[in-house]
Structure formats: C-alpha cells, structure tokens
Amino acid sequence: MIDRGSMPVAALDDRELGPFRTVRILGLPVHDVTLPEAVARIHVWCDRAGPLRQVVTLNPEMVMAARRDPAFRAVLEQAALVTPDGVGMTLAARLRGTPLRGRVTGVDLVEALAMTDHSLFLLGAAPGVAERAARALDERFGARVVGTWAGSPRPEDAAAALDRIAAARPHILCVAYGAPAQECWIARYRAELAACGVRVALGVGGTFDYLAGVVPRPPAVVRRLGLEWLYRLIRQPWRWRRQLVLPHFALLAAAEALTVRFGRRT
C-alpha cells in the first residue's frame, strides 16, 4: 500500500491556489495543470462546502465529439477543471505556441485520488468490473471506496444509481459510462448528486477496465510516449472506427496553430 502522504495536497482555498491558465484547443478549454495540482484542487473542493465540481479529462476524440454535439460542448465549457488527457492535446497546445506542462489522464487521476483520505464511489463499466477495480484500489493504495454500481447512462436507470450514491455519501464520484455519456450524465444530475453529498464528479472512461485488469494497461514506456491509443488499438482492433477522428483532429489542430502563430506576427 502506498503512503497517503506521497501525493501532496494543499490545505488552501480556491483563491489561494489561484486560477489555472486556460488554453483553448479547437475552441474548447483545457487547463494547464499537473497531476499534483489537480489533486490539490480536488482536495480543496472536497474539504469545503460548495457546489458540485465537474472534472473532465479531455482527449482528441472528445474534442471532435464536442464539435458535433452542442450539448456536450456546453458541458465542457461549464466544467470546473478540464485536464489534458491524450498526447494529441499536448501536441496541439505546443504547435499553437501555448504548451501545457503535462498530461493528467483518467487512470492517473483516479489512482492519485485513491491515495487521499476522501471517499470514492465507482459507477459504470460492465457488471462486476467496478467491484474488481475497487478491490485493486484498496489493495494498492488503501482507497476509501464506499460504493460501486454498474448501472447505465439511461434515464430509467438513474434512480437506482442515485439511491446507492445517496446511501454511500461519497466525496468523489467516478463515472465510467464512456464519453460523452458520462460527462452529460454528471451534468444532468448535478443537483441530485450534490444532494447525495458528492463534492467532485469526473468521467473516467475505461479506467475501471485498466484497474480491474480487464484491459492490460500499456507499459510505462508506451505511456511516456503518449501511445496508449495505439497500444489499445492493437489489442482491441474493433476500436479502429473511433480512431478515424484522430487524423481529422491533427489536421484541424495544425491549421489552428498556423492561424494563431501567423496572427501573432501580423
């Protein structure tokens, strides 16, 4: 088990921590934040009374989805924290001349939050996966996982999920319904989740699958190179249709970078 003190957090409020620098990539906000800074901010939100804060780990696929879906775009614009998840986000920011200091992925963020004293509820993934992920977090980090439920993003299943969340009263809700369903679900039930005691809610995509061992996590060298998408595509070739948006994202990001850089020179 990892010492909870190994992930630094700050006993500060939002004003003391200050706002994060925002970079807009293809019109969408991304915060220039490191993993320790993200954990520190979430720590503050969990310790202070206030509205529910939504955290989004944004990748290129989500950017392209938001360009097609105004409702999803509105959710991203209203999120309290949007971290760069995916090497495409950091490359796009660098091309613009507004580099980000690093990536904050869903898996890394959940593992870091598991090292704190705040309680978590794991919602989503296939039946049984959240339970296995919870056991893994407990064994590795001594995490306070107070509830799990597979559920689904369908409106008719919301009541069952909310009942379980209300009974558990978690500080942090991790939702693995896949983007954009998980982000829209959090936004839709923001008031109900706040009434359940949730202080911070974040969509985590396939994080539970990684934690539970359903999908092997890429080796560290692959993660450092930002090639998780390629590793997963090789292991799950059925995902190729989803990856078709990546070249389109790259072209749009390059065109935007040229426009931004040319505009600075004129």
Predicted confidence band at 2 (pLDDT cuts at 50, 70, 90)? very low
Res 195 pLDDT > 60? yes
- Examine residue 46 and state whether it is found in any structural domain, yes or no: yes
Domain that holds residue 78: 13-252
Res 214 pLDDT > 80? yes
Res 231 pLDDT > 90? no
Higher-confidence position of 38 and 229: 38
Across the range 162-184, mean pLDDT stands at: 98
- The phi, psi pair for 247, rounded to 5°, reads -60, -35
- Examine residue 3 and state whether it is found in any structural domain, yes or no: no
| pLDDT given at position 261 | 75
Predicted confidence band at 216 (pLDDT cuts at 50, 70, 90)? confident
Alpha helices in 144-206 (DSSP H): 158-168, 181-188, 190-195
The mean pLDDT of the chain is 89
| pLDDT given at position 209 | 93
- Tell me, what amino acid is at 121? F
- Examine residue 67 and state whether it is found in any structural domain, yes or no: yes
- The neighbour count for residue 71, using CB atoms within 10 Å, is 12
- Examine residue 228 and state whether it is found in any structural domain, yes or no: yes
Is 170 within 8 Å of 147 (Cβ atoms)?
yes
Query: How many separate domains does the chain show?
Result: 1
Res 52 pLDDT > 90? yes
Measured CA to CA, the distance from residue 241 to residue 176 in angstroms comes to 20
Across the range 58-64, mean pLDDT stands at: 96
- Examine residue 262 and state whether it is found in any structural domain, yes or no: no
| pLDDT given at position 13 | 46
Measured CA to CA, the distance from residue 266 to residue 264 in angstroms comes to 6
Q: What is the pTM of this model?
A: 0.88
Across the range 175-204, mean pLDDT stands at: 98
Measured CA to CA, the distance from residue 150 to residue 35 in angstroms comes to 27
Output the furthest CA–CA distance in the chain (Å, rounded). Answer: 59
| pLDDT given at position 248 | 93
Ranges 87-96, 157-166, 179-188, 237-246: which has the least confidence: 237-246
Res 59 pLDDT > 90? yes
Is 44 within 8 Å of 13 (Cβ atoms)?
yes
Across the range 24-46, mean pLDDT stands at: 97
Across the range 148-164, mean pLDDT stands at: 97
Res 135 pLDDT > 60? yes
Q: What are 28's strand-pairing partners? A: 25
| pLDDT given at position 265 | 58
- Examine residue 7 and state whether it is found in any structural domain, yes or no: no
